[in-house]
Chain A
Amino acid sequence: MKAGVGNTSAQRAGTIALRLFGLLFCIFLIGPILAFVPMSFNGVALLHYPIESFSLRWYWDLFSSSEWRLAFFNSVVVATSATVLATALGVAAAFGLWRGRFRGQGFIMILIMTPMIVPSVIGAVSMYFSFAQVGLHYTYVGLILAHTAMAAPIVVVTVSAVLARFDGNLLRAAASMGAHPLLAFRRITLPLIMPGVVSGAVFAFAISLDDVVVALFLAGPDQRTLPVQMYMRSTDLFDLATAAAASLMFVVAIAMMVFLELLRRRDQLSQKHSGAAAGQ
């Protein structure tokens, strides 16, 4: 197929060079993380290869430390709450944007995208200053609200992408048969856009879990999340408990990745299925 183009030896050399480059770049992308993870199983506190003895002592250190346990707890609580809020707000807004074709829609979209555009330091400093005026800094509520604001845009983007493929006639059909708009949304729209909603929620979770800067400003010692705890400990690059925490976060990333892939497949299946149904 493509070999038809690359018939001269120079082009073949180019193709091989490109593949070699691709391989090296894959190592660049994945390598650092894959090299990092096994270190957390190192029995001695040295960042040397080869690993001299296999041990789980750093994981033991991690789970016996009240600081790290609190950080885990905080990350789970904050990321989950922010994901739920951001998904609810984001799905409603995306549906509203899809339903009504407003004149100022571009401007509304720019407003919604603000937390993604504004550099996180500026967002963090701003929210720190304003939240402090009402006593919301150094509280769970403040941190959750901030992460909700940061995560909501990605939900709007992801859900809008699936809604673009959603057939509005289905809602008209439902309405003609007397279904209340809310019932039609719950029984027709939501199931069909579910893959988009869930992947939006996964991205929202990832954004909250990824954030260091905003949490650094808004979290007090009791709200420190996992990345903040890692940041605080980063001055000591030899603390392998940090490596153990990082490995666990990497496992979460793989889980999210697999989950998104499964969603994508399910989405394609449902498309094929509905396509076949329409063809009958």
Chain B
Amino acid sequence: MRHWRPASDHAPTIARDQARSERAAKLRAFMLIAPLLVFLLVVFIGPVATLLGRSVDDQEVAAALPRTVTALSDWQWGTPVPDSAYKALVEDLREASTPASLASAAGRLNYALPGMRSQLMTTRNRLQRADGATSDFKALLESLSPKWSEPESWAAIKQASGPVTDFYLLTALDMKRGPDGSITSLPANLSAFVPSIVTTFTIALTVTILAIAFGFPFAYLMASASDRVAGILMFMVLLPFLTATMVRILAWGILLGREGVIKSGLMALGLSEPLDLLYNRTAVNIALLHIFVPYMVLPLYSVMKTVPQAHLRAAASLGATPLTVFRRVYLPQVAPGLAAGSLLVFIQCLGVFVVPAILGGAREQGLPVLIAHYVNKTLNWGLAAALSVILLVSVYLLYWLFVKLTKSATLSLGAR
């Protein structure tokens, strides 16, 4: 028994050594990945997460009007506004040390209830000049701005008291909370964002269908051609693919433009109708098809190459009609490429910004253009973030589908 001990001790030592060296190898391998991961987390993923966080972030009002927010915390819609809230608001406005924080709070409240910005700022300015010796704060506020007698103003402050809100996300879906907290959809004539979401998805779907309609036969032609012809066709696909998108957009802009080649061609044919080829849905669809069709052709081509012609001939010799051969034998085998290509095109189309901005009219401006608008023009970061959440959730749902279907997280095109 005794002399077995060292031996039985020895075996685990080897196993432990091996495990340790494997761990060390894994650690070394991970140290190679770490720089890129850390870099992406700091430069890209972190900033995106921060932006998305802004869609629910709601601290401006609580920072500028802390007493009012506290005083309103127990107030229920339908009951009279507590006197303490009037007193708190007067104190908050008198002591608003940094006008900047008050201004951003006023801006935030103005999104929820138009008119709140001027109501708040006017009240503050008049309060500075008003006599401080009063105990009836309700009367004081209502004399400075009659709107303080309306409970809606107070409800807006209460709903914006943070620290998180669903206000921006609801707005991005054309919904709003009433003063009593119930969620209602805006009537169709007032809806601002759902039509843009619909536009984004309609364009993406149209272009995906077009890409299948044109990309499928083209990929089939490539797969069934001789190596030499296939090489030329591949060149035709890859050259525009590597040409800067901006060049391709401008090329279409000039081709379809008022003085463009296609237009003058149509004029020469006697079709001198002043049909506008630019700034409409057709122009956007055509340009997007041109830009994204390689994402359909390349994965399709790489699966079509692997389908044995013998299968098709065997099916045909057994009496299957060409349609049956296609539907029952060919399509199931190329389906993975078709799914990958469709998802790639669809995902890319959801994010397009420059094409609709240059070639599209007002009706072609989807979510990405709106996001840029709210950042550039109105500085409404909360709403830009909420629209980004909607866009990103859609994109990642499709990407998740892509990963499930292709069993690969990489967006490789199936061809080098």
Contacts and interface: CB of A to CB of B under 8 A. Distances in A.
A5 B313 CA distance: 7
Interface stretch (A25-33, A55-63, A270-278): A25-33
Contacts of B416: 158, 161, 199, 264
Contacts of A97: 29, 33
5 contacts: A28-B214, A36-B251, A99-B25, A119-B351, A230-B247
Interface of B: 25-26, 28-37, 39-41, 43-48, 50-51, 54, 214, 217-218, 220-221, 224, 233, 235-240, 242-255, 257, 259-261, 264, 290, 293, 309, 312-313, 316, 322, 347, 350-351, 353-354, 358, 368, 371-372, 375, 381, 384, 388, 391-392, 395-396, 399, 403, 409-412, 416
3 smallest beta-carbon distances between A and B, as pairs = A119-B351, A100-B29, A96-B32
Contacts, number: 275
A29 B36 contact: no
Contact of B239 (A11, A96, A130, A253): A253
Contacts of B237: 29
B357 to A, nearest CB: 8
A127 B244 contact: no
Contacts of B403: 106, 110
> Which of B47, B221, B403: most chain A CB closer than 10 A?
B47
A86 to B, nearest CB: 9
B218 A25 contact: yes
Main secondary structure of the interface of B (DSSP, over half): helix
Given A227-B244, A246-B250, 9 more contacts: A35-B251, A111-B37, A112-B36, A117-B396, A118-B392, A125-B371, A230-B250, A234-B358, A250-B247
Contacts of B316: 5
A191 B207 CA distance: 42
Contacts of B399: 117
Interface residues of A, number: 95
Contacts of B37: 93, 108, 111-112
A66 to B, nearest CB: 20
Contacts of A49: 261, 264
B392 A122 contact: yes
